[in-house]
Structure 1
């Protein structure tokens, strides 16, 4: 076997009282490796980096080759290994300021960070766009361009009152133009307030940026794995006053000009 495999990063490696090793905490599907030799945990940790069968057998001095061979075959059969490849970041950050910096520090190394004035809708094709403004609300010109161009994007921002993750915008979900129409219907003064929120620089609390960054990483991971993230058509909000979490669901508006323009561009 010359291909490189790596142990999935989402499973635990635990030594059992009888000397075996359990892979995974799921009580229904744990994999037990009996009679694990000394330093087997170190060998399995090395497998997380991606190794060939020969490299795995030699990753720890004195590791029995027969145990390494059987273990690798068992892990592969149970779906606990994946082909190794050079990971490419699956997202691109468009923004500046504390939120953008915190998200960049949390995501995969090498995730691009692009200043809003340098961003073009055709840049970094195929990547999830993370909109991270340093203002309480993102620039609506930017978000409208993303919607019209059909780019999937996730909005991440902080107001003095709350930190907000979402919505995740796809061609068939609510975009920020949709949410603005809903908020205008609820509060006719919203367009006037929005103009100020898009221009005023905010300094978020470190707890807000840390929460946003962690949530962003989880949403990117779900999107990259082919799942629908929790923020699709939804915002998740963390109150700065009491730390409570809340959610809001947003429906796509039939009178949304951004979606209408996107439809014309795609036709």
Structure 2
């Protein structure tokens, strides 16, 4: 996917109240941007970091700017807008990039399902006699020494999703946990046992029960370290479950 307009660069002053971030623009103006991320954003909000914002001209919006990208460490970018991964995953599936999910002509987003009243991010169907694929998408931005970790905070919601996926497998469908790796410094993905031990245990249980786990990385920046303006998924990344 591609941003319709060039992103606006700034410097992060602070993030607060989860959904707000103060940013200093190049001309010295300080603005408040919407931060569309409910997680801890561990490692993705260093003081005075370079950030990039999209801007909306919708007069009904209280905050015209949205925080999209951050230079998490020098030369490495991360996409912190958790509204983006679902669209990234769908685009990659429809383009045939995700070989594990090829051959499905129909994709429905946000379908209600499960005993715990969840919504699946993507329901893929129409692949001949193949089972429907229930795809849960997660954004990975927590990085350490080339390794990506999920989640970045304890997530009861994420645990619920794993239980729901296991139930779909029991009912004869495919269930897929899709990690969208939105950090250019990540080479592998692991469960963050050090943050949410229960999630790691459930993820391994889900894999043993037949839930598929895949990860694909986005190409966020060019050789100069600046954003390319696209969030396209380009290649698979290994998922490592060993403790």
TM tier, shorter chain?
A: under 0.3
TM-score normalised by L of structure 1: 0.22
TM-score normalised by L of structure 2: 0.24
Q: Over alpha carbons, which structure has the higher Rg?
A: 1
Greater percentage in helix: 1
